[in-house]
Amino acid sequence: MKKLFLIAVCATMVMGLNAQTLTLPNGKSVPIRLTSEIQSNSKAKNATTPAAIVDANIQDDNGQHILIRRGTPVEISATIQKAKGVGKGAYIKLDFLSTRSVDGQLIRLQGNLIKEGQNRKGTALGVGLGVGLTVCWPCLFCLCIKGEKLTIPENTLVNNVVTNDVYQVNVN
C-alpha cells in the first residue's frame, strides 16, 4: 500500500513539473462572436440575455500554447433602450466584461459594441408641430413617431476587445 501511495505521489509531482506559467499581456486582442440575436424591441418577458464566446484560440507570443480556448463563454453587460416617441431611435450597448483562461482564471476584458438606431426627430417635430399647429391639429399625433428599431444578428464578430491586465496562466 505504501508503494502504491509513493508511486501516486511521484506521478503527481512529475505531472506538476510539466506545467508552465506563461504571461497573457495587457492589450492582447480577443475576438468575440455573439451567439444570440439582440433586438431593441423585445418585450421584457421574451428578451434573451445576450450571449457570446471567444471566437479563436488565444495563444502565447510564441504561438505554442493556448491561453484561452475558442468557444469559452464571455460575460456581457447589456444596456438596451427601445425606440421612443418624438423620433428617438433605439440604443444597444454591449460591454464585454470577462472570460476564463485554460486554468480557470478569470480574465477581465475591455471593449464594447454600441449601435444606435436612426433618429427621426426632424420628421416627428416638423410634421407634428409644423403642420399640426398651423393646418391640421390631428397631425400633432405625428409627435408619436418612433425612431428606428435595432437588431444585432447572431454570429456578429467583435474584434476591438482586449485583455484588461497582465495575467499569469498555467498551461500543461
pTM over 0.75: no
- 104-134 pLDDT, tens digit per residue, is 999 999 999 998 876 765 655 565 555 555 6
Could you confirm whether domain 22-118+146-171 is CATH 2.40.128.260? yes
What DSSP letter does each residue of the chain carry, written as one string? -HHHHHHHHHHHHHHHHH-EEEEE-TT-B--EEE-S-EETT--TTTPPPP-EEE-S-EE-TTSSSEEE-TT-EEEEEEEEE---STTPPPEEEEEEEEEE-TTS-EEEEE-EEEEEPPP-HHHHHIIIIIIHHHT-GGGGGGGG------EEPTT-EE---EESS-EEEEE-
pLDDT of residue 45: 46
